[in-house]
């Protein structure tokens, strides 16, 4: 599990809403990051109100680079046996199950978690509630006691936990900080008093080559940081799970630096206001989920037609309609790429990890301004809420470039939509002297005046100008990993599933299968040449994604006219590494591509 050669441990804390499950997971991952570990964490919570439903906080702590959560956990902590019992089977052999063995009331036969522990698993029962009450005169600190117990079992230094506890409760009364610290220390003493598991190699906080400190953030937090570093000036939003925390954090961070923030009455007004602000030259954005994006489709068409830069973050959840608000899915790709009336191509970026969220968000404004078009940043609930360690860029790396005012050609009217060699027109902002122009949602000529006779010419202009976006400096629109040259199996992925794809690829390589993986970050326009080269190198292509229809597989197959094997899952949870690996093995045994190799596997199961 853990040794001096390296650490790779996954902890699952399971309880009911109101038990402090998510809070304890947050402290654990932040303390681990302070110790210098690479951390990936993801919380599962119910859509119900407080007091109902299951919460699970999973944290993977590794001394090496990790790309996804593991299918099996090394430790399961139960704060509520009814919710934790179904997850005992997810603990690996010789993994630990930590639970309260001092009950305050009788339970029905089979109602206690100790009755469900596998003989190959290690039970660690102790008096969680009793220790909490003795330390703080309350059972409410049970979630902090178990943190101390885990730290004691693994001989982790307590100062990192105490530092995070102090920070987390800094806005509370000092008594709250003191009680939680007491609860942690009591659990720490209990953990150190029992049989020890292997010690952990504790390192100094990781640094990059330039000495920058590694920080921990969620995908949504990374988007906010990227926006702030890029100089966002206007944000208009309407709350919707799982994008709401972007709006909440920007509401706090933007006003002190002069940013304009407004919570609108709905998603339509949010995108309309953002486009209006983008038209004036303001760096403007909004964020939503699938249902909100559906409402924004018409106004996004206006952004395309009027060639106005704006950034829209879309965090996908299960659909259709209200669907599964607190579950993850990758089923809004079609809506993001194609949604809207007419030929309304826009740029769509789909980062694959938290650092990608940060960098794509930071670059999105400049991309939108360069190509004068809406940019959609397509993530999902898994990525929005997933914690990872990130190395931020150097100071001012994404700061706005100084604007060069346009020069009016004497005797010639300003043509806002002038036809140019690169199809990008000189963009004037409202109020610039002598550069008055017309903006309309109707088809228009170079002056911006309604004219349907020029529709074909302007349609070509709006599409052709985006082709160079795949060459945008600093953005990896696609990237290949693993074996080079000809391989048995290539795995093609996008978005949050790519971490699981990488893990499966490395395991396949360890088994002697020649394997490569490619991520595609830019979904529109699609990097067709890079995809074609990857296809040409692979005997078989596997496309795993979290939707029923195989939307990315359809997009790629339609662009290349090439078959792929699909692995489609629409179950509300992240992709499973072992399922991807099983398909890789099957394709390896099957050999070079055949007609059968293009079939879908497990669609919707």
Q: Same CATH fold, 478-601 and 215-390? A: yes
> Sign of torsion, CA 175 181 183 185?
negative
How does DSSP classify residue 470? G
Angle between helices 551-560 and 528-537 (to 10 degrees): 90
Correct CATH for 215-390 of 3.40.50.970, 1.20.1250.20, 3.40.462.10, 3.30.450.20: 3.40.50.970
Give me the torsion for CA of 185, 191, 192, 193, rounded to 10°.
Answer: 110
Instruction: Extract the residue ranges of the chain whose pLDDT is less than 70.
Output: 1-5, 47-52, 104, 196-213, 593-605
User: What is the number of other CB atoms lying within 10 angstroms of the CB of residue 480?
Assistant: 17
Q: DSSP 3-state assignment of 283?
A: coil
Provide the pLDDT for residue 242: 96
Distance CA 407, CA 9 (A): 61
Containing 517, the helix (H) or strand (E) segment is strand 515-520
Domain with residues 2-192, CATH architecture: 3-Layer(aba) Sandwich (3.40)
Give the CA diameter of the chain.
92
State residue 49's pLDDT score.
Answer: 53
Give the end-to-end CA distance of the chain in Å, rounded to a whole number.
32
Rounded to the nearest 10 degrees, the angle between the axes of helix 219-229 and helix 354-371 is 40
Q: Which residues contact 541 (CB under 8 A, 6 or more apart)?
A: 489, 490, 491, 492, 534, 535, 562, 563, 564, 565, 593
Report the DSSP pairing between strands 91-100 and 215-218: unpaired
Query: How far apart, in whole angstroms, are the C-alpha atoms of residue 516 and residue 535?
Result: 11
Domain boundaries along the sequence of the chain: 2-192, 215-390, 478-601
Count CA within 13 A, CB hemisphere, residue 6: 7
Buried b (16+ CB within 10 A) or exposed e, 301-317: bbbbbbbbbbbbbbbbb
Nearest Cα residue to 583 out of 548, 543, 532: 543
Angle, CA of 509, 331 and 311, to the nearest 5°? 100
Helices (H), 511-576: 528-537, 551-560
Measure the CA–CA gap between 407 and 563, rounded to whole angstroms: 51
Q: How far apart are CA 502 and CA 176, in angstroms?
A: 42
| 3-class DSSP state of 23 | helix
DSSP state of 598: G
* Sign of the dihedral through C-alpha 148, 153, 154, 157: positive
Q: Where do we find the tokens 């692995």? A: 567
411 CB-near residues (< 8 Å, 6+ apart): none
CATH node for 478-601: 3.40.50.920
Distance (Å, whole) CA 601 – CA 420: 47
- Is residue 35 within 8 A of residue 94, CB to CB? The reply is no
Answer yes or no: are the C-beta atoms of 458 and 471 closer than 8 Å.
no
Predicted confidence (pLDDT) per residue in 14-24, tens digit: 999 889 999 99
């Amino acid at each position: 599990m853990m040794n001096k050669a390296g650490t790779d441990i996954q902890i699952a804390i399971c309880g009911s809403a109101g038990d402090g499950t998510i809070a304890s997971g947050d402290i654990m991952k932040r303390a681990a990051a302070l110790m210098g570990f690479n951390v990936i964490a993801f919380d599962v919570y119910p859509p119900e109100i407080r007091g109902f439903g299951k919460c699970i906080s999973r944290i993977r702590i590794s001394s090496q680079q990790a790309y996804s959560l593991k299918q099996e956990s090394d430790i399961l902590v139960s704060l509520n046996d009814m919710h934790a019992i179904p997850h005992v089977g997810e603990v690996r052999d010789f993994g630990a199950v930590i639970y309260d063995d001092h009950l305050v009331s009788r339970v029905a036969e089979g109602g206690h978690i100790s009755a469900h522990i596998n003989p190959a698993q290690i039970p660690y029962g102790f008096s969680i509630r009793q220790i909490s009450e003795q330390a703080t005169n309350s059972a409410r600190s049970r979630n902090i006691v178990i943190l101390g117990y885990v730290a004691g079992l693994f001989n982790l230094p307590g100062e990192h936990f105490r530092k995070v506890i102090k920070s987390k409760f800094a806005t509370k009364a000092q008594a709250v900080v003191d009680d939680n610290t007491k609860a942690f220390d009591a659990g720490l003493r209990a953990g150190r008093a029992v049989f020890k598991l292997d010690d952990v190699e504790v390192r100094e906080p990781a640094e990059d080559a330039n000495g920058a400190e590694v920080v921990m953030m969620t995908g949504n937090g990374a988007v906010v940081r990227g926006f702030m570093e890029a100089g966002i000036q206007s944000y208009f939003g309407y709350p919707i799970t799982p994008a709401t925390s972007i709006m909440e954090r920007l509401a706090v961070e933007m006003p002190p630096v002069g940013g304009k923030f407004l919570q609108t009455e709905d998603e339509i007004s949010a995108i309309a206001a953002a486009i209006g602000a983008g038209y004036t030259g303001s760096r403007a954005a909004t964020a939503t989920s699938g249902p909100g994006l559906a409402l924004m489709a018409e106004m996004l068409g206006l952004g395309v037609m009027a060639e106005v830069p704006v950034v829209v973050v879309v965090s996908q959840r299960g659909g259709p309609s209200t669907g599964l608000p607190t579950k993850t899915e990758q089923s809004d790709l079609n809506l993001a790429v194609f949604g809207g009336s007419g030929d309304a191509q826009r740029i769509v970026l789909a980062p694959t990890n938290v650092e990608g969220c940060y960098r794509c968000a930071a670059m999105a404004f400049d991309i939108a301004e360069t190509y004068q078009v809406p940019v959609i940043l397509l993530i999902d609930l898994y990525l929005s809420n997933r914690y990872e360690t990130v190395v931020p860029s150097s100071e001012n790396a994404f700061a706005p470039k100084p604007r060069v005012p346009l020069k009016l050609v004497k005797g010639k009217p300003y043509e806002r939509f002038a036809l140019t060699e690169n199809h990008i027109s000189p963009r004037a902002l409202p109020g610039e002297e002598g550069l008055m122009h017309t903006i309309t949602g109707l088809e228009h000529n170079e002056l911006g005046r309604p004219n349907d006779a020029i529709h074909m010419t302007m349609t070509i202009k709006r599409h052709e100008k985006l082709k160079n976006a795949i060459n945008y400096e600093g953005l990896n629109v696609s990237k290949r990993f693993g074996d080079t040259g000809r391989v048995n199996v290539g795995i093609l992925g996008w978005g949050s599933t790519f971490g699981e794809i990488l893990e499966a690829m490395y395991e396949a390589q360890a088994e002697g299968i020649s394997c490569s993986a490619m991520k595609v970050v830019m979904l529109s326009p699609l990097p067709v040449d890079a995809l074609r080269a990857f296809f040409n190198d692979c005997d078989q292509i596997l496309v795993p994604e979290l939707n029923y229809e195989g939307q990315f597989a359809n997009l790629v197959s339609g662009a290349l006219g090439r078959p792929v094997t699909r692995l489609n899952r629409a179950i509300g949870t992240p992709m499973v590494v072992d399922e991807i690996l099983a398909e890789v093995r099957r394709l390896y045994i099957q050999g070079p591509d055949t007609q059968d190799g293009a079939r879908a596997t497990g669609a919707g199961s």
